[in-house]
Chains A and B, each alone.
Chain A
Amino acid sequence: MESVISAGVIGLSLGTQYALISIGFTLIFGIMGVVNFAHGGFYILGGYFAFTLTHTFGLPFSVALILAALATGAVGCLIEIVFVEKYVADHLATMLITLAIYQIMITGITLLYGAEPVQFRFPVKGSFHGSGFYIPYASMIVSGVCAVAIIAVYYLVYKTRYGIALRAMADDGQVARAQGIAPVMMFPLAFGIATALAGLTGALVTPILALEPTGGEAVLGKAFIIVILGGLGSITGAMISAFVVGLIEAYTSVYLGGSRGALALLALVVLILLVRPQGILGTVARRA
């Protein structure tokens, strides 16, 4: 019973992290139709920004977290304007361009920080002990920040004029343009917000897991699983499936073992996809 509760708590904690990283990924696809292969790279970039700000400049972790998210978002915005904007209509071209950007990013990071993981530790230690389970304070803080960020994204997308304009662009770009919504403003900002979310997740999570240049590959793989399970382009779908994946991962790793659990999860995702290519929510948010 204790392991059931413990795994559930771990699963929910993983779910909030996965939700934040996947919402950014699905936001870019939903609005721009771009499969951002560099999303894992932005996650890692956020981690290294936070590491540099805390270790080199001696800033408090909380300040570093905000600055890392903003800096990653700014880099994302710039990359969108320079490299992606012109090719937004071409799925394949943008996919390969972002793949190339990812390769350049990890090479740059490797040259600056080396290929080995750097020593980046979460500043808060200790854990909360419940009856038969415990939760590290670090996980609680990460989950809390992720939850706040998710609520902020929801507010932005569903309650603000900018969010309405973004959704209008996603629904029908031509009609949205005819209404006076300029993609030249919308797309870079959307890309910046999504990459800032990836950077924030990286800054939060890498001190708990590991910070190394190639760490983004596993994250991108996870984002793939979550967004296709939830429905490409659907923010709510990504959030629900992030928790589903987090819980499945936690329980299967406890009861089946690490790689068997991962295999079971992948098999489940492939099965769902084959039956419902549009994801579990059942609506195609954007044509692939």
Chain B
Amino acid sequence: MTADRHRDIKLDSWSVVSLLSLVVLPLVTTNPIVNSLAYQVAIGISAAMAIYIMLRLGLLSFMVPAFMAVGGYAGAILAKAGATNLLLLMLVAFIVPALAAIPLGALVLRLKGIYFIFVTFLFNEMLQLILFETPSLTGGSNGISAVPPASFLGWSLDTPKALVLVTGLVCLIASVTTLMVTQYFRAEFTSIEENETLTESLGVAVWKYRTIGFVASSGVAGLAGFALVNMLSTAHPSSFASWSVNSYIAYAFVGGRGTMLGMVVGSLLLIAMTNEFAAYAQLSVGLYGILLLVVMMALPGGIVGTCIDYFENFKARSAGNLKPATNER
């Protein structure tokens, strides 16, 4: 195991451990502002993790809101039918989009680069229209309102504190899933990201690992969708608008696309910033834009990636062996 791999596992594991705070937070404070921030960050991180899994394969997926909708609506329909068990809802919110991703993956994973981005963007648009065209199942433009909150061992998790707790828990599970998938298949994912043709020529079944990543990413997005629907008690098409993916992409790239810690830092920073400037809601999109622009131009590795590069350089300097900054994280 290389030093880089050790460091990345450590960073990713610590980022997951740090997310325990999202679960603990509602238990130690009743401050509505803190709790509101906690649930927004939890949902943002979960969605960013779905982006991260695909980035590990060198693909930027715009389908995250679509899979969030599939998971969210699946949970809402089940809860409306009376099955409110938290574990069952989480399982369904993960499995339904993951299963949907298998045939979809067979179609879209043949594409790469810009074509993959375009097709996944179009699938988002299609799903929005499907939601509007299937009112008997999804409530159409009205969505599904008054979704019962999840319950566990007979307790209804309907208090504001419990709702935030569930959202934090979902985020933790989504992040652990991401950690397991990206670390277990790290060698294959990295090879595919670095040089797909060479990887394939070495006998690695690229399609298999791409499908695994796509299915895992879809399931994680589904969990994020479920967390959102459970928190708002409503599954509405506007919650999963195609352009919402821009925010999740911004979280990933501002934080640093190369590590899970980047997803956590990016989500936390941008969501906290949006809340800070809540009084100037019209400005928040522009502020995202400015931050994304600055990061892409000045810190192409994102905040975490740049910090890692500086730290590595500092270590190398201290050891009298200067390594050039790679800016690839």
Residues of A within 8 A of B (CB): 29, 35, 83, 86-87, 91-93, 95-97, 99-104, 106-108, 110-111, 115, 217, 221, 224-225, 228, 232, 259-260, 262-263, 266-267, 269-270, 273-274, 277, 287-288
A142 shortest CB reach to chain B, Å = 25
From B84-92, B115-123, B149-157, give the one contacting chain A: B115-123
Q: Does B300 lie at the interface of the complex (its beta carbon under 8 Å from any beta carbon of A)?
A: yes
Indicate which residue in A102, A224, A259 contacts B129 across the interface (CB closer than 8 Å): A259
Cβ-defined contact, B293 with A83, below 8 A = yes
Contacts A107-B286, A224-B122, A288-B115 known; list 18 others, CB within 8 Å: A83-B293, A96-B249, A96-B253, A97-B297, A99-B246, A99-B289, A99-B292, A103-B286, A224-B121, A225-B122, A259-B133, A263-B129, A263-B130, A266-B129, A270-B122, A274-B108, A277-B110, A288-B114
Cβ-defined contact, B285 with A100, below 8 A = no
Closest A-B pairs by Cβ, 3 of them: A107-B286, A103-B289, A288-B114
Report 26 cross-chain contacts, Cβ distance below 8 Å, ordered by A residue: A35-B114, A83-B297, A95-B117, A96-B253, A96-B292, A100-B290, A100-B292, A101-B293, A104-B289, A107-B282, A107-B289, A108-B286, A110-B282, A217-B243, A221-B121, A224-B121, A225-B122, A228-B119, A260-B133, A262-B125, A270-B126, A274-B107, A274-B108, A274-B110, A277-B115, A288-B115
Indicate which residue in A35, A86, A107, A262 contacts B285 across the interface (CB closer than 8 Å): A107
- Total residue contacts A-B, CB cutoff 8 A: 111
Q: Which residues of A contact B130 (CB under 8 A)?
A: 263
Q: Does B112 lie at the interface of the complex (its beta carbon under 8 Å from any beta carbon of A)?
A: yes
Q: How far is the CA of A108 from the CA of B286 in the complex (A)?
A: 7
Which residues of chain B (66-125) have a CB below 8 Å from chain A? Answer: 107-108, 110-115, 117-119, 121-123, 125
Cβ-defined contact, A224 with B132, below 8 A = no
Cβ-defined contact, A93 with B293, below 8 A = no
In the complex, residue of chain B having the shortest beta-carbon distance to the beta carbon of A273 = B119
Cβ-defined contact, A266 with B290, below 8 A = no
A114 shortest CB reach to chain B, Å = 9
Q: Which residues of B contact A87 (CB under 8 A)?
A: 296-297
Q: How far is the CA of A102 from the CA of B286 in the complex (A)?
A: 9
Q: Which residues of B contact A263 (CB under 8 A)?
A: 126, 129-130, 133
**Interface-central residue, A92, A103, A110, A221, by most chain B CB under 10 Å:** A103
In the complex, residue of chain A having the shortest beta-carbon distance to the beta carbon of B119 = A273
B328 shortest CB reach to chain A, Å = 12
A132 shortest CB reach to chain B, Å = 31
Cβ-defined contact, B122 with A100, below 8 A = no
**Interface-central residue, B110, B129, B288, by most chain A CB under 10 Å:** B129
Q: Which residues of A contact B243 (CB under 8 A)?
A: 217
Cβ-defined contact, A104 with B129, below 8 A = no
Cβ-defined contact, B107 with A100, below 8 A = no
**Interface-central residue, A95, A107, A221, by most chain B CB under 10 Å:** A107
Cβ-defined contact, B289 with A101, below 8 A = yes
Q: How far is the CA of A287 from the CA of B286 in the complex (A)?
A: 31
**Interface-central residue, A95, A217, A232, A259, by most chain B CB under 10 Å:** A259
Q: Which residues of A contact B107 (CB under 8 A)?
A: 270, 274
Indicate which residue in A100, A259, A274, A277 contacts B293 across the interface (CB closer than 8 Å): A100
Indicate which residue in A29, A96, A269, A273 contacts B111 across the interface (CB closer than 8 Å): A273
Q: How far is the CA of A30 from the CA of B278 in the complex (A)?
A: 40
Q: How far is the CA of A116 from the CA of B117 in the complex (A)?
A: 30
Q: Which residues of B contact A91 (CB under 8 A)?
A: 113-114
CB within 8 Å for A270 and B289 given contacts A96-B253, A217-B243: no
Q: Does B60 lie at the interface of the complex (its beta carbon under 8 Å from any beta carbon of A)?
A: yes
Contact with A along B300-326 (1 / 0, CB 8 A): 100000000000000000000000000
A77 shortest CB reach to chain B, Å = 18
Q: Does B283 lie at the interface of the complex (its beta carbon under 8 Å from any beta carbon of A)?
A: yes
